[in-house]
């Protein structure tokens, strides 16, 4: 078997590598992302998502199911539901929400679809 070429492997480190801003549909920064797959738009597919202390995400609707795992910190959805370290979360396609992290958090996220802004 041949070694894997550098074009076919990308390794990122969540502690050492530079995150890039996730830009929401209004063109505003909405947390930071780190991902390995260069073919995905930032914040889509499998990635690390980080919220700084006090950050609140833009309200949005998921066009596909979202799954995430909380590595550290805590995040609250608009309805007050708390997710903490070790929580593995699934949100159904069509879910409308926004999240807030008082202390900051780091999540592993899988999101294959687009994010839509709610109409009301």
Confirm whether 23 is domain-assigned.
Answer: no
Closest by Cα among 2, 78, 8, 71 to 34: 71
CB atoms within 10 A of CB 1: 3
Q: Is the pTM of this model over 0.75?
A: yes
Confidence of residue 117 (pLDDT cuts 50, 70, 90): low
Confirm whether 102 is domain-assigned.
Answer: yes
For the segment 73-111, what is each residue's pLDDT rounded down to a tens digit?
999 999 999 999 999 999 999 999 999 999 999 999 998
Q: For residue 37, what are the domain limits?
A: 6-16+33-116
96 and 61 in contact (C-beta within 8 Å)?
yes
Confirm whether 28 is domain-assigned.
Answer: no
Confirm whether 21 is domain-assigned.
Answer: no
Confidence of residue 120 (pLDDT cuts 50, 70, 90): low
31 and 58 in contact (C-beta within 8 Å)?
no
What CATH number does residue 80 fall under? 2.60.120.10
65 and 49 in contact (C-beta within 8 Å)?
no
Confirm whether 22 is domain-assigned.
Answer: no
For the segment 38-78, what is each residue's pLDDT rounded down to a tens digit?
898 888 899 999 999 999 998 888 889 999 999 999 999 99
- Quote the Cα angle for 95-36-28, to 5°: 50
Confirm whether 65 is domain-assigned.
Answer: yes
User: Number of structural domains, the chain?
Assistant: 1
């Amino acid at each position: 078997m041949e070694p894997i070429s550098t074009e076919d492997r990308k390794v990122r480190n969540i502690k050492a590598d530079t995150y890039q801003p996730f830009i929401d549909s209004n063109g505003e920064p909405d947390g930071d992302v780190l991902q390995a797959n260069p073919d995905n738009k930032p914040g889509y597919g499998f990635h690390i998502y980080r919220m700084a202390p006090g950050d609140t995400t833009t309200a949005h609707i998921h066009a596909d199911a979202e799954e995430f795992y909380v590595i550290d910190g805590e995040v609250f959805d608009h309805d007050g539901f708390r997710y903490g370290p070790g929580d593995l979360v699934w949100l159904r396609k069509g879910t409308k929400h926004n999240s807030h992290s008082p202390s900051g958090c780091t999540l592993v996220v899988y999101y294959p679809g687009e994010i839509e802004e709610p109409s009301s």
